[in-house]
Amino acid sequence: MSRLVLKNIVKKFENVIAVDHVSLEVEEGEFVTLLGPSGCGKTTTLRTVAGFYQPDEGEIYFNDRLMNNIPPAKRNTAMCFQSYALFPHMNVWDNIAFGLKMRKVPTEEQKKRVAEVLQMMSLAGMEKRMPSQLSGGQQQRVALARAIVTQPDILLFDEPLSNLDAKLRVQVRVEIKEMQKRLGITSLYVTHDQDEALAISDRIVVMNQGHIEQVGDPETIYLHPATSFVAGFIGLANILNGKVIARDEQRVLLELPFGTLWAFGGNLCPNVGDMVKFSFRPENLVQYREGNMNKIVTTVVHAIFMGNAVDLFLDAQGVRLRARAQNTEKFKSGDTVVFTIDEKAFQFLE
Amino acid sequence: MKEKNYSPIDYVLLIPGIGFIVVFIASSIIITITQSFGLLSVTGKSQFTIENWKAIFHDKESLDSVLFSLKMGVLSSLGTLIFAFPLALFLRKSGPGKRFLGSLIKIPQFIPALVAAFLIINLISYHGIINEALLALGIIKEPLRMLNDKFGWGVVVIQIWKNTPFVLLILSGSLASIHDDIIDAARNLGAGSFSVLFRIFIPLSMPGILISMILMFIKAFGDFAITSVAGPIYPPSIALRMRNTATLFQEWDKAAVLGVIIILTTLLITWLYSRLAEFVVGEK
């Protein structure tokens, strides 16, 4: 097991900067996810850790050991690929034993360790099958087994679940998380799927255009996004601009096209006259009751029944808003609905 | 599903296709085989006999030719593989200058074998460029005999030169079908370059390797042009002997026996390779 430290990593491809001064520390046994849209540099960062790419600048440490010039074969990382990357000409057993053979582990121990992971991954009895004879979920488990059997210092995951169907994806991500906790292997996981990141991670690193936008545990990332990119990328968010027209101790009064709203500013409370950018979640908009401080009058543009909720597309004096309502309520286009929002639901963005 | 009834007109419509195969391909092979047994002979009278076969098998010179051509087939196919495989690996990933190199290598493919033979003669003949250069550098005292040598190295060199692009093409296809992730996975699991080559690249491109070996063997085993220019004085290749037997000695039926031997050998080798492929690839 290792602690992973990235210091100011820069990776360029010709003139494109794929990774732009990324610094990150992953503690021993921690599960950290790099989350971002395609092209944000998350996979490049991961592959740099694996040693497939050389960083143009910066340093990679496993514990205190500088890894920049260590070839991939000597890094003792294990990677799970999006394509699984099973060796098509080897059966399940030989696929899993490959890393042990390369490390010249004695045959007897190879047998013991492969049998162990086969059991752990519920693959017992499939040793002789070829990868082409396995389902997607089974292939993914073989890929996982092949990775953990080598007892790597760091486990690397490159969107391992994106080729699975939605139900299986949820199931396998729970398995990955449980296995990682049990074995306590430091893990770096790459995904563009925010639900997956929220469900599986100890900490999430949100990346955009090669740099890190925000690092934090899933609750912080979701409830307190630091930038409009994070607010917009993780879950749904209403991102608005407003002007501060008044303030008291910790609250500010924001002026918007559809009226004024009181927002809790905390210690970072902006000053009167400032233009501010802020966000709130669709579920923060709740039905207005007499006595509520904030009042937003909206018109329903679309109401989409989603099964567990109703997704509302609203118009408030020309400002588009999203809200979620209970699935028992009925809406139709053109209805006027009045919402309120708690003053603490606002996130001020950089 | 409803059974389809074919009318006589349907069969008539097949004649241009099947007729071509029967008239030009099957008939010529069948006539070669029957001629070797003295039937449908173009010279002399037509009568079943195994004398031609006996004569060829008792003729040491014919056997020498068969062995020589076998040797050329095996060495040329292996030699071409040894040249083309590293090249195909090197050209697998794009890089500076590789496109140019890739195009340059394809040139021999557009040059007919006979022309290729004459081109290479300039390089490897007794007073060719290589010998003169080695002499000038003082590496050798007298010129090396690389052309029309008794063993046939000259032929092998020209075969390799001529056919590397063709084999490269097949191998490149095989190697291109290996996903980069698989190579990365192997390296990630601790495989060095040597292990990646022998455990990943070679086994996964084995179908391409085998098919290019078969095609190369067939070309080199039945070769006429290159051996006639660069081959040893004795023995001639089996194709060369076949031509001599037919046109110089006017023994068409014996030439047919040699023709059948060429066909049967290539069939046998193809079968052996395909069995090998099944064994290596592990599926039918």
One-letter amino acid of A205: V
User: B277, B206 in Cβ contact below 8 A?
Assistant: yes
One-letter amino acid of A227: T
- Asked if residue A250 has pLDDT above 90, the reply is no
Average pLDDT over residues A155-181: 89
CB-CB: which of B181, B199, B204 is closest to A83?
B181
- What's the first-to-final CA gap in chain A, in angstroms? 36
Q: Phi first, then psi: what are they for A137, rounded to 5°? A: -65, -40
- Asked if residue A269 has pLDDT above 80, the reply is no
Q: pLDDT band for A122, please (50, 70, 90 cuts).
A: confident
- Subunit contact A89:B190, Cβ cutoff 8 A: no
Give the ranges where chain A is alpha helix by DSSP (H): 42-50, 92-102, 107-120, 136-148, 166-183, 194-200, 218-223, 228-233
Beta-bridge partner residues of B69: none
Distance between A141 CA and the closest CA of chain B, angstroms: 15
Q: Which CATH superfamily is domain B59-281 in?
A: MetI-like (1.10.3720.10)
Structure token digits, residue A220: 């912080």
Q: pLDDT tens digit string along B253-272?
A: 888 899 999 899 889 988 88
- Asked if residue A193 has pLDDT above 60, the reply is yes
pLDDT of residue B284: 36
Q: pLDDT tens digit string along A212-247?
A: 999 999 999 998 898 989 998 988 889 999 999 988
pLDDT of residue B229: 85
Please return the burial class of A293, using the count of CB atoms within 10 Å of its CB with bins 0-12, 13-18 and 19+.
Answer: exposed
pLDDT of residue A196: 92
pLDDT of residue B283: 47
The position carrying tokens 């391409």 is B208
Structure token digits, residue B159: 């075969």
Q: pLDDT band for A266, please (50, 70, 90 cuts).
A: confident
- Asked if residue B250 has pLDDT above 70, the reply is yes
More confidently predicted of B246 and B69: B69
Q: What ipTM score was computed for the predicted complex, to two decimals?
A: 0.82
One-letter amino acid of A4: L
- Subunit contact A89:B204, Cβ cutoff 8 A: yes
Could you tell me which residues come within 8 angstroms of residue A77 by beta carbon, excluding any fewer than 6 positions away? A49, A50, A51, A152, A153, A154, A155, A156, B188
> What sign results for the dihedral spanned by CA atoms B242, B247, B248, B254?
positive
- Asked if residue A256 has pLDDT above 50, the reply is yes
Could you tell me which residues come within 8 angstroms of residue A348 by beta carbon, excluding any fewer than 6 positions away? A263, A265, A268, A270, A276, A277, A278
Asked if B14 is an interface residue toward chain A (Cβ–Cβ < 8 A), one would say no
Q: Cα separations (Å) of B138 from A47, B127, B141?
A: 52, 15, 7
pLDDT of residue A116: 92
Could you tell me which residues come within 8 angstroms of residue B86 by beta carbon, excluding any fewer than 6 positions away? none
One-letter amino acid of A131: P
Distance between A86 CA and the closest CA of chain B, angstroms: 7
d(CA A141, CA B20): 55
| Residues from chain B contacting residue A151 (CB–CB below 8 Å) | none
Q: pLDDT band for A164, please (50, 70, 90 cuts).
A: confident
Q: Which range is most confident: A95-109, B221-235, B263-277?
A: A95-109
Candidate from A109-113, A202-206, A283-287, B45-49 with smallest mean pLDDT: B45-49
| Residues from chain A contacting residue B200 (CB–CB below 8 Å) | 87
Domain coordinates in residue numbering, chain B: 59-281
Helix or strand holding residue A258 (H, E): none
Helix, strand or coil, per DSSP, at residue A129: coil
Q: pLDDT band for B123, please (50, 70, 90 cuts).
A: confident
User: B162, B113 in Cβ contact below 8 A?
Assistant: yes
d(CA A311, CA A296): 17
Average pLDDT over residues B171-197: 92
Structure token digits, residue B40: 């449908």
| Residues from chain A contacting residue B186 (CB–CB below 8 Å) | 87, 98
Q: What is the mean pLDDT of chain B?
A: 86
Percent of chain A with pLDDT over 90: 67
pLDDT of residue B129: 85
Could you tell me which residues come within 8 angstroms of residue B268 by beta carbon, excluding any fewer than 6 positions away? none
Please return the burial class of B46, using the count of CB atoms within 10 Å of its CB with bins 0-12, 13-18 and 19+.
Answer: middle
Cβ atoms < 10 Å from Cβ of B81? 20
Average pLDDT over residues A195-208: 94
Asked if A73 is an interface residue toward chain B (Cβ–Cβ < 8 A), one would say yes
Beta-bridge partner residues of A320: A315
- Asked if residue A81 has pLDDT above 90, the reply is yes
- Asked if residue A268 has pLDDT above 80, the reply is no
pLDDT of residue A91: 93
d(CA B241, CA A2): 72
Beta-bridge partner residues of A347: A279
